Structure 1
Amino acid sequence: MSDGLADGYDLVIFDLDGVIYLIDKPIPGAAEAVGRLRASGTSVAYATNNASRRAGDVASLLTGMGVPAEPGEVLTSAGAAAAVLARRLPAGAPVLVVGADALRAEVTDAGLTPVSTAEEKPEAVVQGFGPDVGWKVLTEAALAVRAGATWVATNTDRTLPSPRGPLPGNGSLVAVLRTALDREPDLVVGKPQPGLFTTAASVSGAERPLAVGDRLDTDIQGAVGAGMDCVLVLTGVSGPADLLAAPPERRPTFVADNLGGLFRAADDARLPLDAGSAGGWRVTVEGDRARLDGSGDPITALRLLCSATWNGVPVTGVEPVSPDAAALLDSWGL
C-alpha cells in the first residue's frame, strides 16, 4: 500500500464543475485520478450543485470524458430538491419549475406536476440553474411566492467555473428573486448544506469518506458541516487568497493544485503548516504582519501562510521578502 492522501479513505466524493470538468471540458488529469482510485478499490461518488443535468446525463457526460460513472454514483441538487418537495407535498401537487428540463423531469419523477405560471396555483417554486432562465419565468416565480408558494432553491452558487472564467450561477438568479421579494428562499437544498455528502456516504456504506471540491463556500463548508475531511483543489473557483481568508467553517483539511494531490503524501497537503519554514520557504510573523521569504513549491508557501492568517494575521498583512515570494503573492492577487 502506498502512503498517498486518498489511501486513508474508503470513499472519495467529487464535486464536478471546477474539479472534474469546466462546463463540458475535462480538467487535465481528472480521468486518470478517478481511474487510479477505482483501480485501488476506493469507491467514488459525485455530488454536484448544478441542477441542469440529471444523474444519468451526468454519468454519460463523465463516461464520454473518459471518467466511467454510473447514475447511482451521481447525486444532483435537482434530484435532492425534487425528493424534498415530494416528502412535503401531496402527490401530484403543482410545482413551478425555474430551471432546465432536467429539473422539470426530476419533479415529474418525484410524483409532482411541473407548471410554468402563477395562475396554475403552484404549491411550491423550485429554482435551479438553467442557461435559458429569463425574466418571464422569474416573474411567474415571484408572483407564486408572493401568493404563498414555498420557495426552494437547489443551490445558491453565485458563479459557475468555465474555461472563459466565472459565469453567473444559480445564486445570481436566486438573487434576482431575493431582490424582488425582499426575502430569502424557504430552503436551499444543495451545498453548503451537508445532505449531498451524507447521502453519498450512506449509499456507499462508507465509514471514512473524503470530499473534494473547488469552492470554499459550498463544497468545503458542506463537507465541514457533514464532519468529513476535505480537499480544496485550485482548479476552479476558490483560489489561494480565498483560502488564506477562509473562516473556520470553510477551512479544508488539505489543499492541492489538482487531483494529482490525492496520491501525494497527506502530510504534504495538510492545513495549516505550523512549522514556520519548510521546502525553501520561511514565514515570519511580527504582530499583524506575515513576511514570506525564500523559494519553492507554491502549495508549501500557501500552507505556511494559512498558519499565520488563520491565527489572526489579516490577509492584507502578508508581505513578500524575496523576489520569488513577491512573484508568488502577485500571482495570487495579493
Structure 2
Amino acid sequence: MTDGPTHDALLVDLDGTVYAGPRAIPGAVEALEVARERGRTVSYVTNNASRAPGAVSDHLAELGLTVTEDDVVTSAQAGAAVLAGQLDPGAKVLVLGTDALADEITGVGLTPVRAEDDEPVAVVQGHSPDTGWRQLAEAGLALNRGVVWVACNVDPTLPSERGFLPGNGSMVAALRHASGREPQVAGKPAAPLLRQAMERVGASHPLVIGDRLDTDIAGGHAVQAETLLVLTGVSTAADVLAAVPDQRPTYLADDLASLDDLESARVGRDDPWTAEVDGEALVLTGDGDDVAALRVLCAAWWATGRDGGPTVRADGDAAARALESLGLVADRGPTPS
C-alpha cells in the first residue's frame, strides 16, 4: 500500500463511502481490511448522529470489517463535546435526535431533556428518522429564548440504498428559517469531529476520506489534512471539476480500492491524458482510465483560477467515451450542486 509516509491515520467517512444504507459499497470492505492488515490506523468518522458508536461498529463488523467501538467517532460525540466545553456540569440540553445522541449528552455530564418546559440552556440537533413538527417546535421555542444551539452536522441529504434522503441539514434548515439563527456545527466540514478523531488515535497527518466535497473534503481542509474523494456517493465528476478551492481533493478515485496505490490517484500527476484550456472550454485528448481523465481535467481547470465548471470537449473517440462515462457531456458545462 502506497498511501505515503506522512499519513499516520485514515479517517474514513461511512455513508456513501463504506456503505449505502445497510449494504457495503462494492470493494470497500476488502480495501479497508488490506489497509489495516498492512499496519494502517483506520478510524471511521461519521456525520450521522443517529446511532451509538457500538451500533455502528456492530454494523461494520457484520459487513466484514475488523473494528471495535473505539474505532468509530460520531458527530453526536463531537456535538456533546462542543456543549460540554461551554456549559456548566449538569446543565439541561434539549435533544432533537435519537436516544443515542441523548446518551452522549449524559456521557459528558450534561442532562438531556426533550421539552422546552424543562427550561434547557442549549439545543443539540442530530439526525433522527422520527423527527417531526412537534420535536422541531420544542427546539424552536428554546432557540427563540436565545439558548446555545449545536448541530451535529448540516448534511442536506443522507445516502441510502434507495437513493438520497433528507439529512440532518434539511431539518436544521427548518429551524434556521424559523428562528433566524445559525447553529454551531460539530461535524464535517467544521473541525471539531475530525480533531476529536485525530486526538483519539494520536494522528497529526491523517488522510481524510469521503464521498462529499462539501463535508468530507472541506472538513479535511479545515484540519489541514490531505483528502481522498471517492465517487461512490454524493459528489459527481461535474461537482469535483467545478469545486471551489477549499473543497478540492488531493486524491480522486472511483472507490476505496485506490488505497492500494494512492499516489496514482493524486490530482495533477503525470498521465497519458492531456487537457488544454480553449477559451471557456477544456479539450480532453488521449486514452486510458476514465477517472484519470477527470483528474487531468481538474488539474487543468483548477489552475486557471476561474469559478464554476467549464464546457468540456473531446478530441477523439476515447476522450468522448470517457466524458460520456463521467457524465460530462461535450459542449455542455457541468453544473455544481
Superposed, 1:31-50 pairs within 5 Å as 31-50=29-48
Q: 1:56 to 1:6 in 2, by over 3 A?
A: farther
Change (3 A) 1:244 1:147: same
RMSD, aligned CA: 1.7
Match of 1:332 in 2: 326
Residue 208 (structure 1) shift: 3.0
Match of 2:267 in 1: 271
Matched-pair contact (CA < 8 Å) for 1:35–1:67: yes
Quote how far apart the aligned CAs of 1:33 are.
1.3
Asked if residue 251 in structure 1 is aligned to residue 248 in structure 2, the reply is yes
1:201: Cα distance to partner? 2.2
What amino acid is the match of 2:61?
T
Partner of 2:192: 195
Give the aligned partner of residue 55 of structure 2.
Answer: 57
Give the equivalent residue in structure 2 for 1:166. Answer: 164
1:124 paired residue number: 122
Q: Which consecutive unaligned segments of at least 5 residues does structure 1 have?
A: none
Deviations 1:54-110 (A, max 9, x none): 111111111111112111111111011112212222222211111112111111222
C-alpha spacing 1:310/1:136, structure 2 compared with 1 (3 Å): same
**Corresponding residue SS for 2:160:** coil
SS in 1 for 2:246: helix
Deviation track 1:128-187 (CA, whole Å, cap 9, x = no partner) reads 0001100110011111100121111001001111222211111111011111112211x1
**1:168 counterpart letter in structure 2:** P
Question: Which position in structure 2 is the counterpart of 1:304?
Answer: 296
Partner of 2:99: 101
Would you say the 8 A contact 1:5–1:261 is kept in 2?
no
- What CA deviation, in whole Å up to 9, does each residue of 1:307-332 have, x standing for no partner? 22212365232222334433433443
What is the CA-CA distance between 1:36 and the residue it aligns to?
A: 0.8
Give the Cα separation in 1 of the matches to 2:13 and 2:117: 37
Q: Contact 2:242/2:310 (CA < 8 Å) preserved in 1?
A: no
Q: CA deviation at 1:21?
A: 0.8
Partner residue of 1:81? Answer: 79
Which digits, 9 at most, give the CA deviation of each residue in 1:38-64, with x for residues without a partner? Answer: 211111111111000111111111111
Preserved contact between residue 6 and residue 262 of structure 1 (Cα < 8 Å):
no
Shift of 1:222: 0.8
From the superposition, tell whether residues 6 and 48 of structure 1 become closer, same or farther in structure 2 (CA, over 3 Å). farther
The partner residue of 2:110 within 109, 112, 136 is 112
Moved over 6 A (4+): none
The unaligned stretches of length 5 or more in structure 2 are 329-337
SS at match of 1:5: coil
Aligned residue pairs total 326
Change (3 A) 1:123 1:207: closer
Give the 3 Å change call, closer, same or farther, for CA 128–286 of structure 1 in structure 2: same
Give the conservation status (yes or no) of the 8 Å contact 2:290–2:325.
no
Secondary structure at the aligned position of 2:10 is classed as: strand
CA 144–134 in structure 1, closer or farther in 2 if over 3 Å, else same: same
1:177-216 to 2 correspondences below 5 Å: 177-185=175-183, 187-216=184-213
Corresponding residue number in structure 1 for 2:15:
17
1:6, 1:263 within 8 Å by CA — same for their partners in 2? Answer: no
Report if aligned partners of 2:194, 2:223 keep a CA contact under 8 Å in 1: yes
Indicate the residue corresponding to 1:315 in structure 2. 309
Q: Distance in 2 between matches of 1:315 and 1:97?
A: 40
Aligned to 1:291: 283
Q: Normalization by structure 1: what TM-score?
A: 0.92
Q: CA offset at residue 7 of structure 1?
A: 6.1
